[in-house]
Amino acid sequence: MKEVYEFLKKCETYYIATMDGDQPRVRPFGTVDIFEGKLYFQTGKVKKVSKQIHANPKIEISGMADGKWIRIEASAIEDDRVEARQHMLDAYPILQKNYRADDGNTEVFYLNDAIATISSFTDEPKVIQF
């Protein structure tokens, strides 16, 4: 999982795909954090992405760095603890302009049953499950 975390950090911007009914939706993300042995990302409860994940927690993540790309299949599980939200905000102080751990909007999800595949044109794909 740490390798996946480090890859996403290198990407700086990665993309999360969700389902909105029968329509796929993809948008950029930049937050990634490890808390209590799980890989997390952050959003706001008022955003459509939050509502889509709550309706269908199956997501895919994709990003590219250093001539390689990653695809992650997972379920996104909300962690509603203040400690988890605060850990993310501490990792990304810039978010604290718009979010607080106790604002009723900040939301963090961890990846569950994740299968990450790191690929390139020169190496065999590497599969990481966590």
pLDDT 10s digits, 72-85: 999 999 999 999 99
Q: How far apart are CA 60 and CA 71, in angstroms?
A: 7
Residue with tokens 């599980």: 77
CB 39 within 8 A of CB 110: yes
- Half-sphere exposure at residue 78, Cβ-oriented, CA atoms within 13 angstroms: 18
Secondary structure E strands in the chain: 14-20, 23-29, 33-35, 38-44, 58-65, 68-79, 106-119, 126-129
Predicted TM-score of the model (pTM):
0.96
The one-letter code for the residue type at 103 is D
pLDDT 10s digits, 24-55: 999 999 999 999 999 999 999 999 999 999 99
Query: ∠40-48-112 over CA atoms, to 5°?
Result: 30
